[in-house]
Structure 1
Amino acid sequence: MATRKKIATTAICSVTAIIGIVLANYSEDIRTSKTGLEIIGNAESCVREPYYCPANVLTVGIGSTGNVENKIYSDDEIARRWVSDIKKAELCVNRHANGFHLPQSVFDASVSITFNIGCSKMRTSAIFRHLNNGNYRAACNEFPRRNKAGGVVLNGLVIRREKERLLCLSDL
């Protein structure tokens, strides 16, 4: 019984601890604020061992899907993977949604949804179209429409999109 409990506690990691590592060691590498990181991290959760997400994609750490190895990841490995993934989402927002000119809250929310959905789907989205036209309020109000995985509405996405929407609107 003790072994089973140890394995269960090893598999889960602390989003708060990973955010602390990111802010302490990588804050110069990313623009996403602590608030944005908290929305992403709390929505994704943190798991040390690879698992399949609701979209049936092999995932580890905080929503990281690229080159996942079958092993238990350390906090430092998870933080590095997450920073790399955040940077990709930020690059997408900067390139395709006028990200350099977005207010911080709009940028953070846009990075969060891009992190979750992926750049290829977001590039042609109504959200990015509104952001490029400077209609931030309309972009923010599009977030709740992106609440499905595999064609099914997921309660976790409904909650996440509302948090993103509220963050997006907070500086407007």
Structure 2
Amino acid sequence: MRLTPVAILIAAVSPSLAATYPITGDGVNCRSGPGTSYSVVKSYSKGQSVSITCQTPGTTVSGDSIWDKTSDGCYVADFYVKTGVNGYVTSRCGGSAPPTNGGGYCRRINAAGMSLVEQWEGFVARPKPDPIGLPTVGYGHLCQQSNCAEVKYSFPLTRATAESLLADDIPKYTSCLASAISDRVVLNDNQWAALASWTFNVGCGNVKTSTLVKRLNNGESPNTVAEQELPKWRMAGGQVMQGLVNRRKAEVELFKEASSKQAHPSCS
């Protein structure tokens, strides 16, 4: 039997059916309040299961402002808890009901999208200039400080830590994408992942001013828009790059791959 959203919510908050969720990072801090300025009460290891008693807004971590209060009585950033839903899964701390829109956007992308980004960004273990001279590391992480000092993982990166870094970075781009695309535009998870890959590659500013987004928001067929507009984004440093031509082709192919799973305007 397929559960309705109400049934799922009841199951999440019912003490007799308390769900546990795995932690996705190593040494994830659980704090005395919903924010990074609160003191650390304890830490969780990757894969450890936690039970969520309620959720509340707090300091934004990698594009996610939700914090989960665990059965240990402390708060952990929801970004590091794999609930399977990109939004509230239980009641707000204080008793109010959770938002019904699933958080407004998928902060992550599906496996096909992650694989596409990894393929076309390429793996770099230590910071070095990309083809147009920008310092990057991992799978396309653009360095914000000298030698990518902001990266919390040790160099040289392994493929596993590079994947974790990419997962940390993706929400910044999906958040931008969600703010640019009207809620009237319905996209499945493959369409969403393809556009997230494009956003990751070209940057938020370009996405927000693009003809692609304008056409989507004007109600044109998403498949037609993607097929016509994505291939135009093939230049870097004033030159057509064959790698970008190939990447855009792969993004169009993923965009047009059928899926019944909705990702925008809310995950389901």
2:201 maps to which of 96, 99, 116: 116
The CA deviation at 1:149 is 0.5
Secondary structure of residue in 1 paired with 2:142: coil
Structure with bigger strand share is: 2
1:98/1:41 CA distance change after superposition, 3 Å: farther
Secondary structure of residue in 2 paired with 1:111: helix
1:126 maps to which of 211, 219, 233: 211
1:95 maps to which of 151, 165, 179: 179
Partner of 2:239: 152
1:31 maps to which of 108, 122, 129: 108
Structure with bigger helix share is: 1
If asked which structure has higher relative contact order (CA below 8 Å, sep 6+), I would say: 1
> Which ranges of structure 2 fall in alignment gaps of 5 or more residues?
1-23, 26-45, 48-79, 87-106, 260-268
Describe the superposition over 1:34-58 as per-residue Cα deviations: whole angstroms up to 9, x where unpaired: 1111111100111111111122110
Q: Aligned equivalents of 1:86 and 1:98: distance in 2?
A: 20
Residue 86 (str. 1) matches residue 170 (str. 2): yes
Partner of 2:226: 140
The CA deviation at 1:106 is 1.4
Q: Structure 2 matches for 1:31-50, cutoff 5 A? A: 31-50=108-127
Secondary structure of residue in 2 paired with 1:130: helix
Aligned residue pair count? 151
Q: Aligned equivalents of 2:194 and 2:111: distance in 1?
A: 12
The CA deviation at 1:92 is 1.0
Q: Aligned equivalents of 1:79 and 1:37: distance in 2?
A: 9
Partner of 1:72: 156
Q: Aligned equivalents of 1:105 and 1:79: distance in 2?
A: 19
Q: Aligned equivalents of 2:139 and 2:112: distance in 1?
A: 15
Q: TM-score, normalised by structure 1?
A: 0.76
The CA deviation at 1:126 is 1.1
How many percent identity over aligned positions? 28
Describe the superposition over 1:144-169 as per-residue Cα deviations: whole angstroms up to 9, x where unpaired: 11001111111111110001011112
Q: Aligned equivalents of 2:126 and 2:108: distance in 1?
A: 28
Q: Aligned equivalents of 1:96 and 1:171: distance in 2?
A: 23
Describe the superposition over 1:66-116 as per-residue Cα deviations: whole angstroms up to 9, x where unpaired: 331494224454233211221111101111023783221211111000000
Please report the RMSD computed on the Cα atoms of aligned residues, expressed in angstroms: 2.6
Q: TM-score, normalised by structure 2?
A: 0.51
Secondary structure of residue in 2 paired with 1:59: strand
Question: 2:117, 2:197 within 8 Å by CA — same for their partners in 1?
Answer: yes
The CA deviation at 1:127 is 1.3
The CA deviation at 1:138 is 3.2
Q: Aligned equivalents of 1:97 and 1:43: distance in 2?
A: 24
Q: Aligned equivalents of 2:224 and 2:181: distance in 1?
A: 13
